[in-house]
Structures are given as C-alpha cells and as structure tokens.
Amino acid sequence: MVDVPEFRPQGHELLYVAIADHIVARIDAGELRPGARLAPERELAVEYGVAYLTVRRAMQELRERGRILTVHGKGTFVAPDQPAGEPPPAPDR
C-alpha cells in the first residue's frame, strides 16, 4: 500500500476538486478498495473540515470521473477497477 498524501488544498485550487483528488489518491494508494463503502457525506464534511455541500460537489466530481458509484438507499462505493480503455459502469439509480 502506498502512503496517502496529506490533505492540503493549494492556492487557487477549488476545494471540492482538492477533496475529490485526495479521495482518488486514497483509492490509488489502496486505502479505499474497489467496492468499499465511503463514509456518509456529512461525516466526510466533518473529516475534511468543509461544508456539506462542498463534499456533495466532490462526490459528483468523483461520479463523473467514474471513481465512485452511488446506490440510492445503500450508500456510495468505490467503483470497481476498470481495464484500460473501458468506460466506467453506469450508476444504479
């Protein structure tokens, strides 16, 4: 497992992008494995010290990147590993 960089947003970087990038780093480092359930958004907001809506926007960013899947009524999960060139699976609605 690779060390995860500390969360330190820099300069003009948008905060929600910094959070999304940090979660991607946690996934890439193996701290969060495919299929792992993420903490609820409100808990992540406390963990990162930001507003709830900032975390919601970061989650949307991660869904758009294909890194997480949200299943209504079940939670948000790390997306399965994708073979190179494969599009991410469509989220369940």
**Phi, psi dihedral angles at 68 (to 5 degrees):** -135, 160
Half-sphere exposure of 80 (CA within 13 A, CB side): 8
Give me the pLDDT at residue 13, please: 75
- Would you say residue 70 has pLDDT above 80? yes
Mean pLDDT of the chain: 86
Predicted pLDDT of residue 27: 96
* pLDDT tens digit sequence for 8-46: 776 667 999 999 999 999 999 999 999 999 999 999 999
Is the pLDDT confidence value at 5 over 80? no
Residue 33 lies in a domain: yes
State the total domains in the chain.
1
Q: Is 66 exposed, middle or buried (0-12, 13-18, 19+ CB in 10 A)?
A: middle
Q: Which domain holds residue 71?
A: 15-78
Q: And the tokens for 9?
A: 């947003």
Query: What's the pTM?
Result: 0.78
CATH of the domain at 26: 1.10.10.10
Nearest CA among 64, 46, 54 for reference residue 19: 54
Structural domain includes residue 21: yes
Neighbours of 55 (CB within 10 A): 25
Any domain includes 1: no
Domain contains 8: no
38 within domain boundaries: yes
